């Protein structure tokens, strides 16, 4: 197997940053020694963390006002896989890619799978795009897809999802994520009840074709692109639909798909108890579905979400959760943003493991509010970078992945081969 990054280059780069490695690690060990947690336990826990990278997040995204492509960016799914290989070689916790169809359509899916294997990359859940019309598409999704009032259009959207499943089967995926843009911009435009019932009927047809070992993830979002009403507008609606569909249907929580100030960690807890938490789309936001880098605005929220997950893991309430990054990188090199986000996620996860859930439960029982708050803050404020860097070093990944990546001049090298289409394309790639 060949890897995206020459191992020797990582090795050489690591030499520069290894000086403080043991000091930082020792500091972490000292901090943790005061807690009732074995470091080996933490290492074992985080070794199972695997984050899927979004195929659409490897290129520079855009806004409705325009797009400013970066040099050397990938032009197709094969090149995106290669870039995922770079991220994973550096951080070691992102060994899969989540493709989006028809954006990532190819002629030969077996060849794509083999190509990915060469870079140590697997295929995570597949995504269907029924929020955009494609060239030569028979019917338009302008007024909705799976919930459209026109049966032929609903059928076309169903078939798109069935095709996604077939492609995913060849790629080795084990799930399908469905997010629809369906909704209305004006009161009276859409019958709320009828459109939801169309959604359930359409999803039932897709669900029937789901392989036995697959899951289907339902993604909710309160608004955008529809600004008055959205069919799958919140986690409750998503839950009811998942429940109606059956065991393989689960809810996906995209952090940006909530109104400002929503208590997302509580939604996570609710879905855990209802046995319907299936996965995440990690990102961050200030105002809406901003798709900013994970942890860039509110790392405490990310920590609190993981705190709920760790508690649920302890109690064996959850398994098979899909973790995916879903961001749009408009002004940064997507590779750097994805490295940074993966680091924020593992950091939040490690910190949440430091919370002693038993002590927290005792404090809650005694109504010691400040005590409980302190316990969370102490974990959150612990510098866990020493452990994370040490693990990366021991696994032949980069101690300082962003700096090592910059030393590689990867995009500069790629720009010689990846000749870009000069057309000024709007929006996301």
Where on the chain is the footprint of Mn ion (CB under 5 A)? 254, 281, 326
For Mn ion, the closer of residues 258 and 389 by Cβ is 258
Q: CA 200, CA 19: separation in Å to the nearest integer?
A: 57
Q: CA 183, CA 192: separation in Å to the nearest integer?
A: 9
Name the minimum Å distance from CB 233 to Mn ion.
Answer: 15
Q: 230 in the Ramachandran plot: left (φ > 0), alpha (ψ -120 to 50) or beta? A: beta
Going from the C-alpha of 405 to that of each of 88, 96, 120, 343, 391, the distances in angstroms are 11, 19, 18, 14, 18
Burial of 331 (0-12, 13-18, 19+ CB in 10 A): exposed
Name the minimum Å distance from CB 341 to Mn ion.
Answer: 14
Name the minimum Å distance from CB 71 to Mn ion.
Answer: 27
Name the minimum Å distance from CB 280 to Mn ion.
Answer: 9
Q: CA 325, CA 344: separation in Å to the nearest integer?
A: 11
For Mn ion, the closer of residues 24 and 254 by Cβ is 254
Burial 247-258 (b: 16+ CB within 10 A, else e): ebbbbbbbbbbb
For Mn ion, the closer of residues 113 and 281 by Cβ is 281
Strand pairing report for 249-254 and 277-282: parallel
For Mn ion, the closer of residues 239 and 280 by Cβ is 280
For Mn ion, the closer of residues 124 and 326 by Cβ is 326
For Mn ion, the closer of residues 25 and 282 by Cβ is 282
For Mn ion, the closer of residues 82 and 289 by Cβ is 289
Sign of torsion over alpha carbons 344, 350, 354, 360 = positive
Candidates 256, 187, 188; CA nearest to 222 is 256
Name the minimum Å distance from CB 14 to Mn ion.
Answer: 34
Q: Is the peptide bond before 281 cis (omega within 30 degrees of 0)?
A: no
For Mn ion, the closer of residues 13 and 327 by Cβ is 327
Name the minimum Å distance from CB 44 to Mn ion.
Answer: 30
C-beta separation of 74 from 104 below 8 A:
no
Name the minimum Å distance from CB 294 to Mn ion.
Answer: 12
For Mn ion, the closer of residues 281 and 389 by Cβ is 281
Please, which residues have CB within 8 angstroms of residue 97's CB and are 6 or more apart in sequence? 52, 53, 54, 55, 80, 81, 84, 116, 121, 122, 123, 124
User: At 370, which helix (H) or strand (E)?
Assistant: helix 369-380
For Mn ion, the closer of residues 125 and 355 by Cβ is 125
DSSP-assigned letter for residue 29: H
Q: CA 122, CA 145: separation in Å to the nearest integer?
A: 29
Q: CA 119, CA 116: separation in Å to the nearest integer?
A: 5
Name the minimum Å distance from CB 291 to Mn ion.
Answer: 8
Q: CA 397, CA 342: separation in Å to the nearest integer?
A: 13
Beta-strand runs (E) in 212-299: 215-219, 229-230, 249-254, 277-282
For Mn ion, the closer of residues 113 and 276 by Cβ is 276
Name the minimum Å distance from CB 283 to Mn ion.
Answer: 8
**Euclidean distance between the first and final Cα of the chain, in Å?**
29
Q: CA 296, CA 137: separation in Å to the nearest integer?
A: 38
Name the minimum Å distance from CB 326 to Mn ion.
Answer: 4
Name the minimum Å distance from CB 33 to Mn ion.
Answer: 40
């Amino acid at each position: 197997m060949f890897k995206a990054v020459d191992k020797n280059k990582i090795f050489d780069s690591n030499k520069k940053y290894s000086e403080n490695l043991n000091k930082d690690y020792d500091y972490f060990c000292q901090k943790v020694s005061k807690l009732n947690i074995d470091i080996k336990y933490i290492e074992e826990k985080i070794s199972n963390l695997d984050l899927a990278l979004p195929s659409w997040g490897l290129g520079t995204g855009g806004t409705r006002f325009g797009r400013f492509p970066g040099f050397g960016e990938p032009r197709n799914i094969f090149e995106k896989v290669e870039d995922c290989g770079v991220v994973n070689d550096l951080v070691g916790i992102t060994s899969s890619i989540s493709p989006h169809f028809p954006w990532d359509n190819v002629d030969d899916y077996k060849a794509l799978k083999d190509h990915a294997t060469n870079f140590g990359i697997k295929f995570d859940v597949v995504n269907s795009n029924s929020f955009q019309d494609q060239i030569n598409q028979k019917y338009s999704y302008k007024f909705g897809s799976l919930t459209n009032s026109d049966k032929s259009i609903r059928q076309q959207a169903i078939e798109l999802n069935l095709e996604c499943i077939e492609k995913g089967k060849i790629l080795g995926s084990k799930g399908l994520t469905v997010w629809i843009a369906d909704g209305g911009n004006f009161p009276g435009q859409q019958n709320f009840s009828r459109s939801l019932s169309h959604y359930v009927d359409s999803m039932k047809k897709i669900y029937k074709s789901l392989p036995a070992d697959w899951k289907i993830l339902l993604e909710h979002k309160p608004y955008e692109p529809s600004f008055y009403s959205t069919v799958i507008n919140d986690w409750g609606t998503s839950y009811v639909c998942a429940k109606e569909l059956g065991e393989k249907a689960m809810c996906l929580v995209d952090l940006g798909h909530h109104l400002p100030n929503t208590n997302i960690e509580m939604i996570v807890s609710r879905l855990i108890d209802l046995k319907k938490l299936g996965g995440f789309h990690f990102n961050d936001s200030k105002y809406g579905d901003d798709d900013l880098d994970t942890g860039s605005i509110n790392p405490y929220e990310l920590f609190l979400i993981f705190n709920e997950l760790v508690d649920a893991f302890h109690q064996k309430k959850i398994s098979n959760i899909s973790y995916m990054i879903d961001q749009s990188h408009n002004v940064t090199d997507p590779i750097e943003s994805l490295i940074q986000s993966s680091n924020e996620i593992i950091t939040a996860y490690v910190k949440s493991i430091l919370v002693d859930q038993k002590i927290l439960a005792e404090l809650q029982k005694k109504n010691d509010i400040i005590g409980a708050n302190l316990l969370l803050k102490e974990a959150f404020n612990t510098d866990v970078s020493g452990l994370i860097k040490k693990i990366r070093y021991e696994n032949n990944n980069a101690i300082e992945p962003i700096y090592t990546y910059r030393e590689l001049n990867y995009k500069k090298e790629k720009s010689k081969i990846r000749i870009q289409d000069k057309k000024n394309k709007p929006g996301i790639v």
